């Protein structure tokens, strides 16, 4: 197979509905933001190619719905994941309390050696903030997760969070020789195919057509 990359890594974003998973991805990949909330239908994805230590990495980022009604679908996407970003909204106590639930989902469905980053979103909403930075930081530290507070609206820490995580995940996946990192043919179901593109495109707000086309080469 004619590969245009050395390694590929798979990242998943999870967290309660409306914490801002899709907005974080849209800010990073398309540099856009919208105030209107359109809940993700099932899953969606974006792809980015990065270079680290003279190697080319294809990074596949899956955006999942936080809604319970898609839980069966979304839980199947944890398989073969190298890194998981767990998001909570700094203005929403319940979304922070529910991190425990998302950790359990990760333990149930993701590989044991997965990297995890905790992200407190909507840091621009200072007057509505109920989870202070220290609380988030300490929580992450206790669990050995990396941590960022971000604002997709004001574009604060978005690229820092993704770029840091890609590096951490890529380095670890290579060091531990993660099984899916090099053998696309062996793990076809973990990567988008044409059918998944069609599902993905149900999400009108995600504007993922451009990126979906790219992944036909996977
Ligand atoms: N003020 C502010 N609002 C944000 C930010 N990020 C997201 N939002 C708003 O939060 C709402 C939900 O954002 P989404 O990104 O769609 O949330 P989600 O986590 O993808 O939700 P599901 O797909 O339903 O799981 C939208 O109205 C966004 O405009 C942010 O950084 N600051
Ligand atoms: Mg979404």
How much distance in Å is there from the Cα of 88 to the middle of ligand 1? 10
Residue 162 three-state SS: helix
- Burial of 2-14, coded b for 16+ CB within 10 Å and e otherwise, reads eeebbbbbbbbbb
Pocket test residue of 23, 28, 127 for ligand 1, highest count of atoms within 8 A of CB: 23
Cβ of 80 below 6 Å from ligand 1? no
Question: Is the per-residue pLDDT at 89 higher than 60?
Answer: yes
Residue 187 pLDDT: 55
How much distance in Å is there from the Cα of 55 to the middle of ligand 2? 31
Count the Cβ atoms, other than its own, within 10 Å of residue 38.
11
Q: In angstroms, rounded to a whole number, what is the distance separating the alpha carbons of residues 58 and 49?
A: 5
Residue 208 pLDDT: 38
- Are 15 and 66 in contact, with CB atoms under 8 Å apart? yes
- Residues with C-beta atoms within 5 A of ion ligand 2: 21-22, 40
Question: Is the per-residue pLDDT at 209 higher than 80?
Answer: no
Mean pLDDT of 58-77: 94
Residue 94 pLDDT: 98
Residue 195 pLDDT: 45
For residue 156 the two structure tokens come to 């604060």
The DSSP bridge partners found for residue 120 are: 88, 149
Question: Is the per-residue pLDDT at 118 higher than 90?
Answer: yes
Residue 179 pLDDT: 66
Atom of ligand 1 nearest to the CA of 35: 29
Residue 144 three-state SS: coil
Residue 185 pLDDT: 55
Query: Which of 71-75, 101-105, 123-127 is the least confident region?
Result: 71-75
pLDDT band at residue 47 using 50, 70 and 90 as cut-offs: very high
Question: Is the per-residue pLDDT at 21 higher than 60?
Answer: yes
CATH architecture of 7-175: 3-Layer(aba) Sandwich (3.40)
Residue 4 pLDDT: 84
For residue 165 the two structure tokens come to 């995580």
Going from N- to C-terminal start, the domains of the chain cover 7-175, 187-213
Residue 117 three-state SS: strand
pLDDT band at residue 136 using 50, 70 and 90 as cut-offs: very high
The DSSP bridge partners found for residue 43 are: 64
The DSSP bridge partners found for residue 119 are: 87, 148
Mean pLDDT of 178-207: 50
């Amino acid at each position: 197979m004619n590969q245009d990359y050395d390694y590929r890594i798979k990242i998943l974003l999870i967290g309660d509905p409306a914490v801002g998973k899709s907005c974080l991805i849209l800010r990073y990949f398309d540099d856009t933001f919208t105030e209107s909330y359109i809940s993700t239908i099932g899953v969606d994805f974006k792809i980015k190619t990065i270079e680290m230590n003279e190697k080319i990495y294809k990074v596949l980022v899956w955006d999942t719905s936080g809604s319970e009604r898609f839980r069966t679908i979304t839980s199947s996407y944890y398989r073969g994941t190298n890194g998981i970003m767990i998001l909570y909204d700094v203005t929403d106590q319940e979304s922070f309390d529910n991190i425990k639930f998302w950790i359990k989902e990760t333990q149930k469905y993701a590989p044991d050696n997965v990297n995890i980053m905790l992200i407190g979103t909507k840091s621009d909403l200072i007057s509505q903030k109920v989870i202070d930075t220290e609380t988030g930081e300490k929580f992450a530290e206790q669990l050995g997760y990396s941590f960022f507070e971000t604002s997709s609206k004001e574009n604060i820490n978005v690229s820092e969070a993704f770029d840091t995580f890609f590096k951490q995940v890529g380095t670890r996946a290579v060091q531990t020789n993660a099984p899916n990192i090099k053998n696309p043919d062996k793990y076809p179901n973990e990567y988008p195919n044409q059918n998944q593109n069609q599902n993905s495109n149900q999400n009108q707000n995600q504007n993922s057509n451009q990126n979906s086309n790219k992944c036909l080469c996977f």
